[in-house]
Amino acid sequence: MDDRMMKAVLYDRYGGPDVLYVGRVPRPEPGPGEVLVKVRAFSVNGGELSARSGRLRLLLGRRFPKRVGLDFTGEVAAHGAGVTRFAPGDRVWGVLGRTSGFGSAAEYVTVPEERVGPLPDGLDPVDAAALPVATTAVTALRDKAGLRPGERLLVRGAAGGVGNAAVQLGRAYGAKVTGLARAANLGLVRELGAHEAVDHRSVRPADLGRFDVVLDTVGTDLRAFRGLLNPGGRMVTIAFDLSRPVTSLGYIACSALHGRGRVRFFSGDPRRADLDVLARHVAEGALRPVVDRVFPLEETAAAHRALEAGGVRGKYVVRVAAE
């Protein structure tokens, strides 16, 4: 078999999960400042679903084939000139940057050195693939919201990939955490540290009380949840309403100028320092991976289908290669 080629998950047109297939593409070579990672596992993220379905076609264009996969765990296979922190065989994890796009759903991926961190000792690489997205929760709570001990935190989508990490970290940061999730996942949300877990389908936002920080991972009904903020409260969202993108993004922008409590929107773009913080939280026992199900690489389409169906408990992870 030609070792200059590798397996990767591709799609040749926008559409549902069935457009995904495993094909063969040239194996990348690391350039200056880059590491080549042999991928062990990656997780499926909501942004990939939007990209694959065509909702982001104005940004992504119509050049095919396109790739999927945003985060990864694995081992360094080689590195380019100027790399000093990593050597072949090092166990690592990371997230591709905004300019890199998708592509970790493959046997190998090249990544700038600053996008890679050492995998915490004792952490299985398949389980660990559920965690790089937790850098988004760290940024949301620590940097964007400035969450303080004793404050009331509401996490919307508390059983999902970012949400479950936010529940764990909110508790570790000393907040009183309320998690909104499906009824079937309320036990998990409590287990992860929420002081209160509420079925999002059984209560109106107005009945939830007041909060100092609201972290939204859903993107709908932002006005209603913004109305729950105490004076001086902060709301952070990592999503917007894809059924009404212009209206939703417009509301987020206007919130900075009108009414109580600005809605801060951001898209995660983690670097080494963020991954190091994540590793420290894992080492301290404040954060653990939550894996709903593991799929083989050939069933990446099934993993996308499962995430689209809703109700995920943590993350869907795809195993690329065994250790």
Question: Please, what is the average pLDDT of the chain?
Answer: 91
Average pLDDT (200-224) is: 93
pLDDT top residue among 158 and 266: 158
Q: Could you tell me if 234 and 297 lie in one domain?
A: no
Q: Could you tell me if 246 and 287 lie in one domain?
A: no
pLDDT at residue 45 greater than cutoff 90: yes
| 276-315 CB burial, b ≥16 within 10 A, e <16 | ebbbebbeeeebbbbbbebbebebbbbbbbbbeeeebbbb
Confirm if 2 and 278 have CB atoms less than 8 A apart: no
Q: Could you tell me if 91 and 20 lie in one domain?
A: yes
Q: How far apart are CA 272 and CA 260, in angstroms?
A: 35
Q: Could you tell me if 181 and 119 lie in one domain?
A: no
Residue 237 belongs to a domain with what CATH number?
A: 3.40.50.720
13-37 confidence digits (pLDDT tens): 999 999 999 999 999 999 999 999 9
36: β partners: 78, 110
251-293 confidence digits (pLDDT tens): 445 555 445 556 776 666 788 999 999 999 999 999 999 999 9
pLDDT at residue 317 greater than cutoff 90: yes
Q: Could you tell me if 144 and 180 lie in one domain?
A: yes
pLDDT at residue 153 greater than cutoff 80: yes
Q: How far apart are CA 188 and CA 280, in angstroms?
A: 23
Q: How far apart are CA 315 and CA 296, in angstroms?
A: 14
Domain-terminating residue out of 221, 248, 265:
265
Average pLDDT (175-184) is: 97
Q: Could you tell me if 141 and 257 lie in one domain?
A: yes
pLDDT at 175: 98
Domain-terminating residue out of 265, 289, 307:
265
pLDDT at 269: 79
Residue 65 belongs to a domain with what CATH number?
A: 3.90.180.10
pLDDT top residue among 50 and 12: 12
pLDDT at 321: 81
Domain-terminating residue out of 221, 249, 265:
265
Q: Could you tell me if 166 and 202 lie in one domain?
A: yes
* Percent of the chain whose predicted confidence (pLDDT) is above 70: 89
* Tally of domains within the chain: 2
By mean pLDDT, which of 61-75, 79-93, 201-215, 260-274 is the weakest? 260-274
Q: Could you tell me if 26 and 127 lie in one domain?
A: yes
Q: Could you tell me if 127 and 171 lie in one domain?
A: no
Average pLDDT (184-209) is: 96
pLDDT at residue 10 greater than cutoff 60: yes
pLDDT at residue 190 greater than cutoff 50: yes
225-262 confidence digits (pLDDT tens): 999 999 999 999 987 544 455 444 444 455 554 455 56
What domain range is 14 assigned to? 5-131+270-319
By mean pLDDT, which of 74-88, 217-231, 257-271 is the weakest? 257-271
86: which 2 tokens? 């990593």
pLDDT top residue among 258 and 311: 311
